[in-house]
């Protein structure tokens, strides 16, 4: 599902809101979630799941074109773990 499809579904379910208003609300929600993850290192939504910052250690990789070994720096990424209620719906 794309962002445009998500906005369409939400706008149809909430006829009192315009698509632009729905877009602003959805953007605000995702911006708030991103800020919470950055500040606290995690964000949980009961019944859906949790997002958590994960550390990746520095490691040695290989350039697939040349076969040459390269150093990959340590980095951070965000992982998602689905809640049991969400998994059961799949």
pLDDT in tens, 5-20: 999 999 999 889 889 9
Summarize pLDDT for 52-89 with one digit per residue, the tens: 999 999 999 999 999 999 999 999 999 999 999 999 99
Number of domains in the chain: 1
Range of the domain at 24: 3-89
Using a cut of 0.85, tell me whether the model's pTM lies above it: no
Q: Say what the pLDDT of residue 40 is.
A: 93
**CATH (domain of 62):** 4.10.520.10
Q: Which of 41, 56, 50 is nearest to 81 (CA)?
A: 50
Query: Is residue 43 within 8 Å of 50, Cβ to Cβ?
Result: yes
């Amino acid at each position: 599902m794309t962002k445009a499809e998500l906005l369409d579904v939400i706008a149809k379910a909430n006829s009192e809101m315009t698509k632009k208003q729905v877009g602003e609300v959805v953007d605000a929600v995702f911006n708030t979630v991103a800020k919470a993850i950055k500040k606290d290192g995690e964000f949980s939504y009961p019944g859906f799941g949790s997002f958590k910052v994960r550390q990746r250690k520095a490691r040695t990789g290989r350039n697939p074109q040349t076969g040459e070994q390269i150093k990959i720096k340590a980095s951070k990424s965000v992982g998602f773990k689905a809640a049991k209620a969400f998994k059961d719906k799949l």
